[in-house]
Amino acid sequence: MPSSITLQPITPEHHPLAERLWQLYRHDLSEFRGNYPEADGLFRSERLQSFFSEADRCGYLVRQGDQVAGFVLVRGLVSGLRVMGEFFVVRAARRQQVGWEAALAVLRKHPGDWEIAFQESNPGAAGFWRRVAAEAAVDGYKDEERPVPGKPDVEPDTWLSFTV
């Protein structure tokens, strides 16, 4: 059953909302990345801020009806190689096709060459992104491991490359 999601561009008035959602997102990822919040109890948000200030990046709030269900952050809009920078769906909206619809909507909104990275230690993300790539890719996708720059002690990322 369709979730009837919409993508709403993140504008300056949405920054506080996006920052709060970012904390939920980083908390979810801490299970797989081993990150802890800073001394003030908040996770670092410099990466999020870059999506508000750099020309080749954009963000969308994912809405399910009138509810905020997550966000999508994309980079590479100017360079031509788009990257799914960050992707988050609140737990209440998971398993309802919200993420599926949001991912495909963003990919189709910005057609061209795409890359999506995830960690194999997050099996939900690994399966999800491979299914999305198989659905969206014009000619299939390439799957490769790449070391995380500057973090030799961290497991490599898996990158999917494809064209929409």
Instruction: Check if the beta carbon of residue 46 is closer than 8 Å to that of residue 19.
Output: no
- Where do the domains of the chain lie? 5-163
pLDDT at 158 over 90: yes
pLDDT digits (tens, 9 = 90+) for 91-144: 999 999 999 999 999 999 999 999 999 999 888 999 999 999 999 999 999 999
The 3-state DSSP composition of the chain as helix, strand, coil percent (nearest 5) reads 35, 30, 35
CATH superfamily ID and name for 5-163: Gcn5-related N-acetyltransferase (GNAT) (3.40.630.30)
pLDDT at 3: 58
Of 30, 154, 21, residue with least CA distance to 91 = 21
Q: What is the pTM of this model?
A: 0.91
List the structure tokens of 105.
């909507």
51, 21 Cβ separation under 8 angstroms: no
Can you list the alpha helix ranges (DSSP code H) found in 34-122? Answer: 46-53, 98-109
